[in-house]
Amino acid sequence: MDNQRPFLIIALVFILFMIWQAWQIDNAPQPEPTTASSESGDLPPADVPAAPVATPGSVPAEASPTAAAQKRIRVVTDVLDLEIDTRGGTIVRADLPTYPVSLDKPDTPVRILDEATRGYVAQSGLRHVETDGQDALELAPTHHAVYEAGADEYRLAAGQQELRVPLTWTGANGVTVTKVFTFTRGDFLVDVAHEVRNAGDQPWTAQQYRHLRHGPADDADGSMLLYTFTGAAYYDDAFHKLAFDDMQDDPLDADITGGWAAMLQHYFLSAWIPDQGATNHYYSMVIPQAGTTDYIVGLRSEPMSVAPGETAAFHTQFYVGPKIQERLEEIAEGLDLSVDYGVFTIFAKPLFWLLELIHDLIGNWGWAIIAVTVLIKAVFYKLSATSYRSMAKMRQVQPKLAALKERYGDDKQRMNKELFDLYKKEKINPLGGCLPILVQIPVFIAFYWMLLEAVELRQAPWILWIHDLSTRDPYFVLPVLMGITMIIQHKLNPAPIDPVQQKIMMILPIVFTVFFAFFPAGLVLYWFVNSLLSITQQWYIMQKMEKAKA
């Protein structure tokens, strides 16, 4: 069987898969915005998660702060550039100075949190557990409360390893809460604490909640071939994606020990990570917002009481940055799964581990891809050799096949019988040429997802004109070279008997050249090198068999 046919199978399967994904994006039913519900009835504002209420009573809407009461402060470290709104201590903007948006714009950082254009913010606060019938919203600082800041800007100084940013809120009940953000040099992980001092004469009980809020996702940044998930995710001993469109009909509502809640996008994420030994209630909400809809995923802690004259603190962590797999593994179990390889994770993760290991040795991702390709080819060497021997035998009996075609071409049943007898006599397995490449299809697709999802390969150069292995070859050199290798392989393989198949195999190199022109350069590099090695191995086996026959 012609060795080119499995390429067609790969293309058809892959295209159908991508078309299905694109159809899902365009045609999935959109939820109708409704006011979020809570355990204790309607609680204005609707985006404050519910807390247990011991004494019934109405909860009036919280007064909005005046323009003069709130402001935004800037926090700059070596890897983060943030804006924090003193209303709620909400992180409303997060830029990554070490990750430019593109090679053409090295001074424009990637922006993850972005209230202005995407309604994407990180909110956290304390929700008072009512024990005396008082107004809960006046007894603890939710993300609507206004804090006081000691400065308008905080910067990590040269040689400084840690930067603390305190915000202070004082309640009418004598409770003071200091919300402290602690930043560490070189790290995208932020410690967030609500330090409570109860100077009142009554016990004070509250829960800490933290959530991520996002406006409707923009599908324009994902093409059919380069589609990646944008939406919420959480972990409860298993990784779960929660599409915005699913939050209305199937909201998250579960008690989970450990875990995390996140918003995902291509290469980057934001995530709230609680104490991994604590149990939190995880939730999602859909909030109508002035002609649009906001989507929330988050978690709230168990209640904690602070006696009069005592102090206590609620602690959590917040990550906002790239999906660096090694670092995410260190932060929390399963956080590295946010690098979503899908059903091919079982192949992609070992491949990336090997690729990263080789990269650490040679320092270039392009050469690492070539090295991994050689190793993969070595693993499949014997299986490929069996395939090429089968094709060499098919090539040798081509004249006999042509004679059978001429003699029994109009009698398909007799033709099939004669072909079977010929294969049996010559000890040829007609499927032998397909099996090795079919086995490699999962590896190929895993390589695709690895190159698409691994931020370590983002804007990674190889040589000469290839400055970013995660995007297409700007001059289409690699796709053309790959097309040439396919033509060479076509010449080496036995020609199909069917004229229609012959024509398909002749145009297949052109089709695949166009198809691969839009794939990441790293993937095309992998397949080009794999094809070169295949041609070398196939030619060697054919020469060896020709000499043996002579």
What's 104's domain CATH number? 2.70.98.90
Q: Torsion angle, CA of 201/312/280/39, rounded to 10 degrees?
A: 20
When pLDDT is cut at 50, 70 and 90, the band that residue 482 belongs to is confident
User: Where among 340, 375, 392 does a domain terminate?
Assistant: 340
What is the C-alpha radius of gyration for the chain, rounded to an integer number of angstroms? 30
pLDDT tens for each residue of 162-199:
999 999 999 888 899 999 999 999 999 999 999 999 99
User: Where among 276, 310, 340 does a domain terminate?
Assistant: 340
Tokens of 481: 């070279």
Res 504 pLDDT > 80? no
Res 135 pLDDT > 70? no
pTM of the model: 0.80
Shared-domain flag, residues 135 and 200: yes
Domain count along the chain: 2
Range 272-298 average pLDDT: 91
- pLDDT the model gives residue 13: 53
Residue 65 lies in a domain: no
**In 54-80, which positions are buried (b, 16+ CB within 10 angstroms) versus exposed (e)?**
eeeeebeebeeeeeeebebbebbbbbb
- Residue 216 is part of which domain span? 31-58+71-340
Average pLDDT, the chain: 80
pLDDT tens for each residue of 313-334:
999 999 999 999 999 999 999 9
Q: Are strands 311-322 and 279-289 parallel, antiparallel or unpaired?
A: unpaired
Range 188-215 average pLDDT: 94
- pLDDT the model gives residue 513: 85
- pLDDT the model gives residue 543: 74
User: Where among 282, 311, 340 does a domain terminate?
Assistant: 340
In this structure, what DSSP letter does residue 36 have?
Answer: P
Percent of the chain, pLDDT > 90?
A: 43
Tokens of 98: 């070490």
Residue 24 lies in a domain: no
Among 75-79, 370-374, 406-410, 412-416, the range scoring the smallest mean pLDDT is: 406-410
